[in-house]
Structure 1
Amino acid sequence: MTEQTLAKPTLETLLERARAMVPWLREQADAVEKARSVPPATIQAFRDAGFFRILQPAAWGGYEMNPEMFYRVLMELGRGCPSSAWNLMILGIHQWEFGKLDPRTGDELWGSDQNILVSSSYAPWGKARKVEGGWMLSGAWPSSSGSDHCQGGAFLGARVHDEQGKVLDMRAFLVSRADYELIDDWNVVGLAGTGSKSVKVKGEAFVPDFRAHSIVDYSLTDGAATYRLPFNHVFFGAVSAVIVGFAQGMVDIYVEHMKPRQNVFVGGPVAAKNPFVQEKLGNAVLLIRSARARILQSIQEASEYAERNELVPLDMRVNHFLDVQGVAKDCFSAGHMLFKKSSARGIFNSNPLQRQLRDLLAASNHVTQNEDDTSALLGAYLLGQGVPPGVFELPQAS
């Protein structure tokens, strides 16, 4: 593939490029899983198509688009190779994050090369110590997807405490690539191809203040409206969007397999005429389309406030939190429904249905898909119990 023009494409152009890649991605999905890493050629294809620029600020050559555009591309690519689409999701969402940071961060990273990528592991497993002009960070973080492709460093999470040990904030710190090592411990049942190695900081790493930000604090920032959206909504929504693609990929494969399939029992209908096959397919599609609609509606609702330079209200953010975190539950249910109706054929390693289901299973366990706790959070909020500190607001503000 040749590099696309840097002129800002339309959404339909981006979707056309994504759809054109799906057959190619599906063909290589088994090899990606076996290699436990997405090949550089795939990352380059995503780069050439402009996918990494969708959320990148215009100051550094990006398209500065609304996250909805990124979500729609992920929903297409997830149909082909879940691990490859997951890498795009993780490595592509960080460009949006730079729009909320001090511009010096983007200047440092993209001053000479606007194609450099960064990885992440936001779980607060590290220790952050405040020093003059910045922070000293130490620790190890699991599951940094696509880290082999990232020379720009990694966003790593840590809690900030006061002198009495009270949690004040949870922050992300952009650590330089030279300051950490990768540990190849990614041996998993699903999404094996994402290459989600652990990150271990060498001793302590210095991170300037301008390369750190609060994951919890939500305030308006200068610049384009897209960067006025809440961090957890945009990031969690991206995970949910790619999961919708995984589930739609199961539908694609299931339809292809069932159309020509004959029933093994004499006198039974061909699979496509079996009412139970039809019913399971219809209900699976209903669940997937409902999940997709929730994601798009929530980002559209939030964007209306961002366009007016207003904060998204707390009550809406709480509802959106559940909208996106309930996606994997619906999509995995849909995928399992189809897998069960594929009979014994589905269990063979040669059948892509089982890999797609395992990838759905792994994605369903991601922290952004915790619908149980989030359902309780919304219920408590509706019953007047407020929200837990450190989720939507800084602890001291609650």
Structure 2
Amino acid sequence: MSNPVAVSAVETPDRAELVKRAEGLRDLLWEDAVDCERERRVPERVVSSMTEAGLLRLMTPRRLGGHGTDMRTLLEVATALGRGCCSAAWIAGVLNAGNFVASLFPPAAGDEVWGENPDARCALVLGLPAQNVERADGGVVVSGEWAYVSGCLHAQWVSALIAVPTAEDRPDIQFALMPADAVTIKDTWHFAGMRGTGSNTVVADRLFVPSHRLVPYVPILNGETDGVVDADLPYRNSLTGLFAIGLIGALIGGAEAALGYVRDKGPTRPVAGSTYRDQTQSPTFQLDLADATSKIDTAKLIALRIADTVDEYARAGRNIDLTVRARNRLESAQVGRLCREAVDTLLTAHGSSAFNEANPLQRLWRDINVGSRHAGFGMGIPEQVYGRALVGQDPRDISFIV
């Protein structure tokens, strides 16, 4: 096993450098987006390029070769990647969040994950915990299934929730860190958009998980990581807030890509049934462009406030209170909605050819419509959660995703 001290001596790139690297991959991701969708997985050369650029170790501890970046960096990197491919940006966000969770396990687990490979990737799923769990000497034996595990096709490890039995007959919910080669993947991700995320179902069948690869869920959920997080990780947050940042970055990047495409094509496209020379001469096109641009700009501002809020609390060494956490969840949902509405407007402005299968706009439209309806964003729950907090009640009575 490699020496973690030697690895940590490598200079860590700053935010500007990491974002520049992400921006440099835009053309590659854009070129491979069609294959990504057709194969329902991010192409290996894209994953390799993101890995070689260090963009999948943003949340990996520095002592083990990672960057230990802040949330603003994660957001800006995911946004830059999303301008090339929403699916690639989405899995980058999830895998970085998964690495964050893996960094909270006992040091022996961190050494096991990254000691020989600082680019090791950990998928993460926050679905219902597996109930078929037995205590065993030195750990537990787990059987269960977890759906919607984005990035599982490109991960070396998977973190999922399990319900560990206790003498009090109240299960102890914990994260279990499992090697990807010890679980199986069921091909269940057949969706209209975000096809390349490979968000399939992971299955464990009587898998032994040692104690050093178990960690309580509630403290991580609440950001109560004192004495757990490595000193070089400059953040603390409720898990769900961190998890959303990479996802909304992918949506913003996709919306920006759609905006750029429509603007670039406007001067060469006619306005059917009119005497306008091209779309840019039409007041309706101009109004649609202004509306979409304003919504994307607003989404970016909201997303930056979420990320900066997390970073500000981290620098102050304080846990984020429930009201702010609930606000962050609602605002994450608002970012998704604004991106979705902006892209809807852009496709209308471009015209019906936007829905031609050869046109990248229809792929962006489907990706953002699916991604913005992630369980963390949809069905009116974020509004209920924040409203409950604003009247002094516990939002966790409605949803644990706070």
Normalized against structure 1, the TM-score is what? 0.90
Q: Which moved more, 1:126-135 or 1:180-189?
A: 126-135
Query: Would you say the 8 A contact 1:322–1:375 is kept in 2?
Result: yes
Aligned to 1:48: 52
Q: Note the 1:373-392 alignment, pairs <5 A.
A: 373-389=381-397, 391=399
1:213 aligns with 2:216: yes
Query: Would you say the 8 A contact 1:170–1:390 is kept in 2?
Result: no
1: distance between equivalents of 2:165 and 2:287?
53
SS in 2 for 1:113: coil
2: distance between equivalents of 1:245 and 1:149?
21
2: distance between equivalents of 1:98 and 1:227?
15
Q: CA offset at residue 355 of structure 1?
A: 0.5
Q: Which moved more, 1:127-136 or 1:377-386?
A: 127-136
- Going from structure 1 to structure 2, the CA distance change for 1:23 and 1:40 (only over 3 Å counts) comes to same
Query: Would you say the 8 A contact 2:223–2:320 is kept in 1?
Result: no
2:29 to 7, 25, 28: 25
Aligned to 2:127: 123
Q: Unmatched 5+ residue regions in structure 2? A: 1-8
Q: Note the 1:134-283 alignment, pairs <5 A.
A: 134-150=139-155, 152-159=156-163, 170-214=173-217, 215-222=220-227, 223-224=231-232, 226-283=234-291
1:37 aligns with 2:45: no
- Going from structure 1 to structure 2, the CA distance change for 1:286 and 1:171 (only over 3 Å counts) comes to farther
1:102 aligns with 2:110: no
1:332 aligns with 2:340: yes
Q: Unmatched 5+ residue regions in structure 1? A: none
- Going from structure 1 to structure 2, the CA distance change for 1:112 and 1:385 (only over 3 Å counts) comes to closer
Give the residue type in structure 1 aligned to 2:178: V
Aligned to 1:363: 371
Give me the CA root mean square deviation: 2.4
2: distance between equivalents of 1:390 and 1:57?
33
1: distance between equivalents of 2:330 and 2:164?
26
Q: CA offset at residue 372 of structure 1?
A: 1.3
SS in 1 for 2:386: helix
The share of aligned pairs that are identical, in percent, is 23
- Going from structure 1 to structure 2, the CA distance change for 1:375 and 1:344 (only over 3 Å counts) comes to same
Cα shift readout 1:75-123 (whole Å, capped 9, x = no counterpart):
1110111112222122222222233222221111112121221223220
Give the residue type in structure 2 aligned to 1:252: G
2: distance between equivalents of 1:38 and 1:209?
31
2: distance between equivalents of 1:158 and 1:24?
38
- Going from structure 1 to structure 2, the CA distance change for 1:69 and 1:259 (only over 3 Å counts) comes to same
2: distance between equivalents of 1:201 and 1:49?
32
Cα shift readout 1:329-366 (whole Å, capped 9, x = no counterpart):
11111111111222221111011000000001110221
Q: CA offset at residue 155 of structure 1?
A: 0.9
1: distance between equivalents of 2:124 and 2:322?
27
1: distance between equivalents of 2:71 and 2:263?
30
Aligned to 2:6: none
Q: CA offset at residue 160 of structure 1?
A: 5.5
Query: Would you say the 8 A contact 2:106–2:212 is kept in 1?
Result: no
Aligned to 1:314: 322
Give the residue type in structure 1 aligned to 2:71: P
Query: Would you say the 8 A contact 2:51–2:119 is kept in 1?
Result: yes
SS in 2 for 1:388: helix
Q: Which moved more, 1:176-185 or 1:357-366?
A: 176-185
2: distance between equivalents of 1:107 and 1:249?
39
Q: Which moved more, 1:294-303 or 1:61-70?
A: 294-303
SS in 2 for 1:259: helix
SS in 2 for 1:142: strand
SS in 1 for 2:128: strand
2: distance between equivalents of 1:235 and 1:347?
31
Q: CA offset at residue 368 of structure 1?
A: 2.1
Query: Would you say the 8 A contact 1:225–1:306 is kept in 2?
Result: no
- Going from structure 1 to structure 2, the CA distance change for 1:143 and 1:315 (only over 3 Å counts) comes to closer
1:285 to 279, 293, 296: 293
Query: Would you say the 8 A contact 2:188–2:201 is kept in 1?
Result: yes
1: distance between equivalents of 2:173 and 2:111?
24
Normalized against structure 2, the TM-score is what? 0.89
- Going from structure 1 to structure 2, the CA distance change for 1:378 and 1:135 (only over 3 Å counts) comes to same
2: distance between equivalents of 1:385 and 1:26?
45
Aligned to 2:17: 13
Q: CA offset at residue 199 of structure 1?
A: 0.9
